Structure 1
Amino acid sequence: MNRREFLQCAAILVSGASASQLGVALTQEQQVYLAAAPNYNQGATRLLNDAQRKTIAAMCEIVIPRTDTPGAIDAGVPRFIELMATDWLNDEERTIFLAGLAELEASVAADYGSSFDELDAAQQLALMEDLEAKASESSWYDFANTRRDFVSDAPFICQLKELTIWGFFTSEKGGTQVLRYNAMPMYFDGDVPLSPDQSSWLTRLE
């Protein structure tokens, strides 16, 4: 099972949606994996401590804040990120993730005498924009690089953003309350015009 197939399985396990609801055609290997997988919505994941969880929650809420639609926290994205960092990132990627998180925590403590989640939204955003500026040379930012495999050496901020987007738009809240959702069987239409105020349709994970 490749990494994208594992991510599809993780979306199913975390969101509680079925494969058909997410538009996924499962391979036999995925079906076997899902049949034996533990319930992701029960049991403890202990990769992060409580302070780190608060930082991750605050960061992903900056990426997708609650407005008139649900935000990242509403959709359970912080738990999704911890599960992905535990089970999906390889050792190298997990090391980058944990080191980047620790570096951010240390920097905030030194500069503000506080933790990231205790800062106001403007301060949080400024710190995340600074992380992005420092990471700008990564291939993760290559123009039109939107259908790529996960970039293994991507900096922490890139990992955080990518997992936030995946977690949110494969969640029930993101898929049905933010994207336009139609529970009827899916079909392909390559030319569906959207006005500037319309969101995209919930589509297949490829």
Structure 2
Amino acid sequence: MSRPSIRDIGARDWLIVALILTLMAGVLLWAGRSPICTCGYVALWHGALDSGNSQHIADWYTPSHIIHGFLFYALGWLVLRARAPGERLIFAVIIEAAWEVLENSPIIIDRYREATIALGYTGDSVINSVFDVAWMALGFAFARRAPIRVTVGLAIAFELLTLWAIRDNLTLNVVMLVSPIEAIRLWQQGG
């Protein structure tokens, strides 16, 4: 059996990713997050913008996490170019896992409620957070293999799709979280 090349993401890297996800899930459970949707079941897709949002495996915010993977791949390529792809993936997973923990803290949950259209947002279930990181890793893997123009095109398509479907996307989410604009909030609410 041949050893993995420095250009591969090896079993050791995936083991570290799994350990990071396990640690993140443990922290979220310790912080009181629900392991699954309080509705009592886990759905592969939850398309409604209601209390089940951010509670299942995938929802309308999943494309944002895939785009995170695109962006973290680009960041790793720019900043950690001399490092192996597996190390860059671990770097991306650490960032995304840290965001999931922060996103489910009272300060960010309250910020979402006050500044975005997520008025009833109560945070993510642990399974949703774990899959959010997994979706990011999928985006990272896609960006690593796909031509840049395809990755950028897919990111734009995801942004336009979610803008059309739910009047929200990664760009608007960041804008409204960092510096809310009343006109955007009114438009997102259907006004």
Normalised to the residue count of structure 2, the TM-score between the two structures is 0.30
Q: Greater helix percent: which structure?
A: 2
Q: TM-score, normalised by structure 1?
A: 0.28
